[in-house]
Structure 1
């Protein structure tokens, strides 16, 4: 966008004119981006944001007039905010007015509906009275019939079930196929219970015997503990007395032995056994006999048995929350997850495996005691398989998962399969990749969402972003605009890739034609544009450009290939070693 003469008159210096040009370019590019990204005619709110940002640039540039310009911008912002507020109030008032206008009509319809319902209630009450009268007459007839007949033996007759079958709806209880399926389910459940009875359960008498044996062992342990304390005290006293007599014998001026022994015996009588007096005893040997440890093991066993009871009873939600709050995380593992996944028949919307993982994420604080990588991956797969993207969004944004690269790949794959949630999945994958340090995939997810500017800002801020990572992003989201962005300056910083490097890297691949389109666009951009691009390319050698020209000739881009060859041959030091009909190879080219 060219600068007008009036603007040049106001801005005298070259820096002012350059700033004005950059400002016009910024406004034009942002408006063009709004036009491309949105429908025809960008909303006033977005255009206002563009001009507000331009005004901020003017304020930052004209530091001498910063207070005045800031005050002007503040007045504009306040005025626009007031206009928005008045607009909202006007819309609210119009809505209220519309509701008031339709209120009489609504009242008329409600009164009419009330009259209809009163009539239906009267009809229902009349029908109910008739049915009740018939029921009373039938009951009297049956009672008279039973009194008149003699009682008969009914032991050999089959009992007819009365009432609704548990676990089936009334319609299903009348369907033979549903009854057969329900019967198969009960037979399978009975077989499972019988199998578990043989392999996992023992008679109650065994438990009672073990309890008696444990009490006897604990009593014996207490008696041995008392005896051990006495022996430790005796050992401590004798050891002290031995050391005292040895020191008395070695001393030069020693008192009488009887007086010395009296004083030492008084000290010995005051001794007690301490915890540190276990001479030569390995404490790990007796760790299993610790009452606290025994009690804790009993509690864990009771907790696991309670979980098994809830699971076998079909109370999967209660079992899931019970397992999620298990002490020491004994049930917060993949084995429990696999057990929930094995359930195929359940009631409710959420499957048991998803109930368990949801309980895991609810029962922990963000960032603390998170589920492991494998468990997090399995939970997200289960949620995505059943279409619960909202749960995955909550888990990822609230940091209730252990992030991994594979987790981000699973979310991205689901977005590719379901276009309705593609943007959400890419945003969640970007969070996961960024947290894991997989920068190339994080930038690729932003590019696939159309956030090219944000992606380049992310790439330039990441110091570990390599040339291979740039090519990975380009191959993952191929487009001519993205290739141009990679080969252009970004806010005064050098380009990440060169045109020659991109084109040479894409030779003999699916993106080869896209590279030739980039060269063709540069060639059509004006006189000397392609030559300037080739001569200023420090990432691609003359041999690589020669290979590009050869490939252009083979793919039918004859004019482009001849132009590249002519540019290379026109440089000092360029030597044409061989020339055939389909290829030309250049060697020993030196850019001066």
Structure 2
């Protein structure tokens, strides 16, 4: 019995020891995990202190510091020193990575000064080369003259060289002897100067200096860079986001300097410039160009501005005024008159008609078709400044009804019906264009559209005229020529 009890106690102790080992192993693993988490937390706190140099919410504790450290003066002083060092480091990095705008402006100014110095040096170099070559020719000529019998004067020899260009020179170009002996080196090198301008322009375009290239083209000698070829180069660049349109810069440059030139900008460039300005919705620029600068106007320029006014109804009146000025300058009086009428300047249009007497009856009928203003038609069909009417009221009514402008015709009939029979009779008697048959047709139109009284007044005036007899359509026995034989 006692032996069994000892065995049980031994087994219990063994099991207890085994469980203790398991618990100790688990505790060790847990402790390792806790230590690892503490290490990660410490690393995270260090990074947070390193990268977060300020707190969005001042009421919260400073990141990376414990509550005890946040109220400790030494810890705060140390942390402040850390922030100051970080600020200095960031400022140093920013000075390396970024350049101030003022520095860029200074560099641009330095580049401009350097380019000017280069241009001056190139011009001086060309002049010196020219002088050197001319002196070399003179030296060779003098040597040849000394070696000869000197029977002729040295001046005669130089003149002979100019005529025959027979002197052997080391520069290898016999064709430039005459040019080198000229007194004006600028004339001799004019082709080189023009070529240099073109090369400089291409260089600016390749560098993306489009504003400078535009100004350079505007100042080019003999306007060698003011042509459609230059326009196509700026068109090829297209639009650059955040920067002015290069093509518009070119036209601004050449138009702004055109008043200083003896000849205005040609018609082709003028048209392209107006199109460019309107495409960029810069009507203000177009107005300035048309009114202030020296351009060559054409019918196409006026048409482009008119079309733009039809799209931009807010600025339609301005566009019509510009187009009217261009048409007048080009001698296109019909279109200029139409612009005046579309602006509502009826009295100005009538004065324009009186000033330019080359408007035919058909021109004025076409005008009321394109611009059927009631006031305009009334002015054209009545006396103006003691002069007879330009159009027939009756024919104008018939024209409006025939082309589908019935509304305008009815407004005219309403206005004329207010004047009574006296006005009708005055119109009919003083109308040299409208025959009685046409007035009868007008009376029928009035009757069909509810103007019974107006129709009766017209018919009454027709009957009252001497030699006029109303013939019924049913009476086919009337002899129209009977009065001739009695």
State the TM-score, normalizing by the size of structure 1. Answer: 0.49
- Equivalent positions of 1:415-564 (< 5 A) are 415-549=309-443, 560-561=454-455, 563-564=457-458
Q: CA deviation at 1:522?
A: 1.8
Cα pair 1:320 1:356 within 8 Å, conserved: yes
CA deviations 1:374-417 (Å, max 9, x no partner) are 21112112112222122111111113321112212222222222
**Aligned mates of 2:210, 2:155 — CA distance in 1:** 59
Q: CA deviation at 1:541?
A: 2.4
Residues 460 and 138 (structure 1 numbering): CA distance in 2 closer, same or farther, change over 3 Å?
closer
CA deviations 1:170-226 (Å, max 9, x no partner) are xxxxxxxxxxxxxxxxxxxxxxxxxxxxxxxxxxxxxxxxxxxx99xx99x969x97
Structure 2 counterpart SS, 1:488: coil
Cα pair 2:400 2:409 within 8 Å, conserved: yes
- Equivalent positions of 1:154-553 (< 5 A) are 163=97, 272=156, 290=179, 295-346=189-240, 348=242, 350-365=244-259, 368-549=262-443
Residues 139 and 519 (structure 1 numbering): CA distance in 2 closer, same or farther, change over 3 Å?
closer
RMSD, matched Cα = 4.8
Q: CA deviation at 1:577?
A: 6.9
**Aligned mates of 2:88, 2:462 — CA distance in 1:** 114
Q: CA deviation at 1:441?
A: 2.5
Cα pair 1:440 1:472 within 8 Å, conserved: no
Cα pair 2:306 2:319 within 8 Å, conserved: yes
**Aligned mates of 1:131, 1:416 — CA distance in 2:** 70
CA deviations 1:102-129 (Å, max 9, x no partner) are xxxxxxxxxxxxxxxxxxxxx9xxx9x9
Higher relative contact order (CA 8 A, sep 6+): 2
**Aligned mates of 1:279, 1:295 — CA distance in 2:** 20
State the TM-score, normalizing by the size of structure 2. Answer: 0.59
**Aligned mates of 1:540, 1:288 — CA distance in 2:** 83
**Aligned mates of 1:487, 1:298 — CA distance in 2:** 68
Q: CA deviation at 1:346?
A: 1.9
Structure 2 counterpart SS, 1:323: helix
Structure 1 counterpart SS, 2:204: helix
- Equivalent positions of 1:86-101 (< 5 A) are none
Give 1:134's aligned residue: 82
Q: CA deviation at 1:453?
A: 2.4
CA deviations 1:48-77 (Å, max 9, x no partner) are xxxxxxxxxxxxxxxxxxxxxxxxxxxxxx
Structure 2 counterpart SS, 1:528: helix
Q: Where in structure 1 are there 5+ consecutive unaligned residues?
A: 1-122, 143-161, 167-213, 231-264, 581-586
**Aligned mates of 1:302, 1:563 — CA distance in 2:** 83
Q: CA deviation at 1:449?
A: 2.7
Aligned length in residues = 351
- Equivalent positions of 1:68-147 (< 5 A) are 133-137=81-85
